Structure 1
Amino acid sequence: MYFALLYETVPDYVQRRAAFRSEHLALAQQARQEGRLILAGAFDPPDGALLVFKAASAEEVEAFARADPYVRNGLVTSWRVRPWTVVVGGEG
């Protein structure tokens, strides 16, 4: 199953993320290497982000969000996980 993790971020997100960026990217890279995180990135302008997961359950994605230093340190004001039905793509 695919899931979209949607983040909304604080207005000064870009300025505040430096202190947590390496830890955030390490968490994302680990999820990527495990085959769970497919795509991830901030919107432009950076008022939020989208992370696409391939996971067995929404709980796996929720656990990622709770562990994310951006969430733990208040850079993400809200987040939600939505199941995503892929109609085109997603092979492999």
Structure 2
Amino acid sequence: MKSIVALQDAVTPWSDGLEPLDAELDAIEWELPLILAEVDLLDAEITVLDRTPSEVDERRIRRARRKVLAARRDLTNQAVAAAGMAGGAA
């Protein structure tokens, strides 16, 4: 019986550079409120995929959309403030 062996190196060889950088982790942490708001919106939308949305479902989706918009507004204002520019998104 012949053994099957890969003739090439692995597509992604293991190296120390595969871990996320501190700057990448900071960016994820900075955007976490938006990420969580988008997850809430997605969850609300998935809930009504296979049925007609009730009034409670519609309120939940509207609330989740407002939460996403507020998180985007806050991140935009923080980015503008960090860049030292005058004015903001809201």
TM tier relative to shorter chain: under 0.3
Higher helix share: 2
Higher strand share: 1
Q: TM-score, normalised by structure 1?
A: 0.27
Kindly indicate whether structure 1 or structure 2 has the higher relative contact order, using CA contacts under 8 Å at least 6 residues apart. 1
Q: TM-score, normalised by structure 2?
A: 0.27
Larger radius of gyration between Structure 1 and Structure 2: 2
